[in-house]
Chains A and B, each alone.
Chain A
Amino acid sequence: MKDPYEVLGVAENADDAEIKKAYRELARKYHPDNYQNNPLADLAEEKMKEINAAYEEINKRRANGQSGQSAYYDTRRPSSAGSAYYGGGTLQQIRRAIQAGSLTEAEALLNQYPERNAEWYFLRGVIRYQRGWMDDAKQDYQRACQMDPTNTEYRQALHYMEHGPAKTYSPYGSFGTDLCLTNLCANACLNPWAWCVCPVFCC
């Protein structure tokens, strides 16, 4: 195991508050929210595990064998196209292929699927997003939401495209070409529809 102090980027004689601050900063950076459907989400998950393990180890050492603090960030990726299996055999296969990172296979299966339903557009959006086709992905999510407005997963995906993660990490505090847009999240909180889509994202 790597030196836990090195992992958190703190000195061994740092006080508890400094360690907690360093841990929180790193957890904010590698939080699964920031890597939703990201092709590098597996690497972020590994980082998060390493940070959690380092924090736990430091707490254990300092507590002289007592159990460490338990308020760790969840390393699991948020539910994505790979984790909800429904909608028939082929669509299920497509989700599995996406989760395994086999985008070419997922795309081939999708093209063979006869029905162009909401799920089909959503999955095509996920594939496009992972390929970096952000604008086309957003249009697919919009189409999926229009065809099935009650589906929370589709609406979450569209909400992410329109607002990004709840708190995008930036060492400078702000993130965005048009900083006025960063206020959109606050506006969305006042919008009951956006609130019911995913209050966690906004607030």
Chain B
Amino acid sequence: MFGYVRPPLDGLPDDERDRFRRAYCGLCHTLSKRGAAAQWVLNYDFTLLAILLSDSEPATETRRCAVHPLRPRPCFASTDAMELAADESIILAYWQLRDHVDDNGPVKRQPFRAASGILRDAYRQAAAARPDFDRHTQAQLEILRGLERDNCPSLDAPADAFAVLLRDAARDVQPLTRRRVLEQILYHLGRWVYLIDAADDLRKDAVSGNYNPVALRYALSDGVWTDAARREFTLTLDHSIRGMTTAFELWDFGAWTPLLERIFYAGLFQVGRSVLDGTFHRRGAHVPQDTNDDESEAD
């Protein structure tokens, strides 16, 4: 379900792109504290979570890694917020894999079973450090499974189950105003991610017969949009983006402001458009390039 946050880095000044890359690399190094396997959960969505949970720009340190073994890279040092984001990312990724194991048949579930097995040790450490978040994640995913089993025709009920799960990532944030702002952003980010994922899976689910709330809500046949359904769906997506932008404007995110502004006011719309016109393609996590990078991706 993750992989839909695509910061439009091309339109950002070099120093903003570098700041995002340092956050991405910083989260990767923080994840590695739970074992090398944990680094596989790294993606832009979780980097955004780490940025939102960081109340200020962390200190920069220089590190080598498996992807960049030759030239040390500047990355953000681990902070409490970075560690919280890393643990929550591992817990969310692990339970999503377990969900795929339960949802698929004996053959198709094998890759997910293997991946969750590889991640299990990191998950155990993260769950021990964040037991409330782990418990709450399982409870919300159980609600989601129940709604899917019942073929719930509402868009909002299953989206809420996922959105509440993401909102919970900010449950311990202080002060209250910042927590309220982050909870609103994360709720609507979760709702948007769930809905855009359902829209992206429309045709696939039509073939497989899997539950798809978008198809049920708008009574779509064979996973094909009608103009009216597409328009309605776009409006509800935009209301969630409005929920994010109006919340975003109520807190000073300091150095992160230009990047977050670009994500909320431009990046989400771009992804939404490409999902709806069928041009969106999932791709694996990759390291955003340094602006003066002379080290190849392969190193």
Contacts and interface: CB of A to CB of B under 8 A. Distances in A.
B245 A178 contact: no
B295 interface: no
Given A134-B156, A135-B156, A181 B184 contact: no
A34 B163 CA distance: 22
B81 interface: no
A124 interface: no
Where chain B touches its partner, the secondary structure class is: helix
Contacts of B246: 34-35, 38, 40, 44
A85 to B, nearest CB: 27
B241 A177 contact: yes
A5 interface: no
Given A40-B250, A47-B250, A177-B273, A132 B187 contact: yes
A163 to B, nearest CB: 9
A87 interface: no
A175 interface: yes
Contact of B234 (A40, A43, A138, A178): A178
B96 interface: no
Scoring A35, A44, A132, A181 by chain B CB atoms within 10 A of each residue's CB, the highest score goes to: A132
Interface string B93-132: 0000000000000000000000000000000000000000
Given A134-B240, A162-B235, A178 B249 contact: no
Interface string A163-178: 0100011111001111
Nearest to A26: B249
B249 A29 contact: yes
Interface in B212-255: 217, 230-232, 234-243, 245-247, 249-250
B180 A40 contact: yes
Interface in B254-299: 261, 265-266, 268-269, 272-273, 276
Given A132-B163, A132-B187, A136-B156, A164 B242 contact: yes
Given A171-B265, A181-B231, A40 B242 contact: no
A161 B235 contact: yes
Contacts of B234: 176-178, 181
Contacts, number: 96
B160 interface: yes
A128 interface: yes
Contact of A132 (B180, B217, B237, B240): B240
Given A39-B184, A178-B273, A134 B261 contact: no
Contacts of A136: 154-157
Interface residues of B, number: 40
A128 B159 CA distance: 13
A177 B271 CA distance: 8
Given A35-B246, A138-B236, A128 B156 contact: yes
Nearest to B160: A133
Nearest to B167: A132
Interface string B160-197: 10010000000000000100110010011001000000
Contacts of A134: 156, 191, 236, 239-240, 243
19 contacts: A34-B242, A39-B180, A40-B250, A47-B250, A132-B187, A132-B191, A134-B191, A134-B240, A135-B154, A172-B266, A175-B238, A175-B241, A175-B242, A176-B238, A177-B234, A177-B268, A177-B269, A178-B231, A178-B273
4 nearest interchain CB pairs? Answer: A133-B156, A177-B272, A134-B239, A135-B155
Interface of B: 154-157, 160, 163, 177, 180-181, 184, 187-188, 191, 217, 230-232, 234-243, 245-247, 249-250, 261, 265-266, 268-269, 272-273, 276
